[in-house]
Structure 1
């Protein structure tokens, strides 16, 4: 069921979203080659808890799957060919030339915020740098369509059209989602689709829009060793950006926008 949030609920989500944004801002200033992904995770958890919030992802398990293993960390840190759900580890060292997707969620006042950014570490090829830049832009293309009266797949189509215009692959089996008092709510928000299809967007819907875009020909992310982490089928790099937004009548309100200058 898709829920329409009241302005009181949106204000609570605005606070959670700001915590997520400030967490990612902090990590953006600190991330560097030589760090382990576990170091990033510990920094994020400490900051989130200092804001009287709790990490949304820590111990998360999908509902309806009693055999699911709860997620063991605050962040998802996914490097290069890892699309999503990379588990932080003291053994995973970030290297020069990596691209690192950091996905973060925070829960405060009973409501979640959720956002992701892909960071470039040192020098990368022009091809990889463009992938990161245009994945970020594909997110903004989707957000510009998140207006009351449009249809859900107008968002999806805008993301897909921008990504495919550069020859990139859209990861089709990983999607965005509704968000609110639950981390994952209805509706699913695909990153591909036909315009003017899907449910009609209404003011007060809250969505986490998150393009996952890859070089190469991968259309699916595949599980590695049966665990959480999902990688591209062909081992080519993937980038990931995400914002929590509120559907409005004029333009969507972004709840997880950066505070960095």
Structure 2
């Protein structure tokens, strides 16, 4: 798409191109000319889309707050699914996981050695000492948000508590590395360095992703990497950061029976936290948490 200076800007701001994104596009082109990977226009959200994602995230955050209030020893994971489903629907929204690619529930609940995509069940009971990831994703007025939190059930061992704590620290260090005109590799490097310094491995098979207009969009957000490498980060990009840390090796496998639940290969425990993040002119904004 070639725009003249007086054409309406591609971002639908209603402004002329010369008053809106022309300098932005010239800067992007300069990085591309130097051999850097740059985002396509459809990865850059306009103000209307960003506001829609924020509204979706308000519901997503409220759902996770409710889970945080109610989760306890002896609860089965189907009860968590019902909490999530009911509040989401009663808020006028849709649980994004439900029927996504055949996923049968409204939330992912992943316990101990389950890395991600755990399917809620009346038969799965939260036990004293468990560590649990609850991953909530919401569609509201066509816009998507996505976040997860870890919960420690009852008396959790010092080793497992450290895993949960360091996973959160890795998420926050990844967030700190998000800078306009920086690189996705900066995010992965910050996460990987802190995880490995604390004796944990970072899952490679899964990562963060663009989000907002669809559940999963480009770019893929790796949680390992090298600074100065990977896709250029620019204002308006919205994506998740969701590092998964393992106590042992980073290798994982998918359960052959349900074709969803992801386990650690060696049986070590895993922890994950997730934000939906907006790249801003001066850093990053957490939209869903």
Aligned residue pairs total 248
Deviation at 1:174? 0.9
Partners of 1:174 and 1:221 within 8 A in 2: no
More moved, 88-97 vs 219-228: 219-228
TM-score (normalizing by structure 2): 0.84
Q: Distance between the aligned counterparts of 2:61 and 2:243, measured in 1? A: 17
CA distance in 2, matches of 1:178, 1:221: 23
Counterpart selection for 2:65 from 21, 25, 30: 25
Aligned to 1:172: 204
The offset of 1:225, in angstroms, is: 2.3
TM value normalised by structure 1: 0.93
**Inter-partner Cα distance in structure 1 for 2:169 and 2:65:** 18
Cα distance, 1:220 vs structure 2 = 2.1
**Higher helix content, 1 or 2:** 2
Higher relative contact order (CA 8 A, sep 6+): 1
2:250 alignment counterpart: 219
Aligned pairs for 1:1-261 (under 5 A) are: 3-61=43-101, 70-216=102-248, 218-226=249-257, 227-257=259-289
C-alpha contact 1:146 1:248 (8 A) present in aligned 2: no
Partners of 1:130 and 1:176 in 2: CA distance: 22
Can you list the C-alpha shifts for 1:64-90, whole angstroms capped at 9, x where unaligned?
xxxxxx101111000000000000001
In the alignment, the residues of structure 1 paired with residue 189 and residue 227 of structure 2 have an alpha-carbon distance, to the nearest angstrom, of 6
**Deviant stretches of 4+, over 3 Å:** none
CA distance in 1 between counterparts of 2:50 and 2:179 reads 16
How far has the Cα of 1:101 moved from its partner?
0.5
Instruction: State the 1:200 CA deviation.
Output: 0.8
Root-mean-square deviation over aligned CA pairs: 1.0
Instruction: Determine helix, strand or coil for the equivalent of 2:145.
Output: strand
Distance 2:252 2:57 in 1: 27
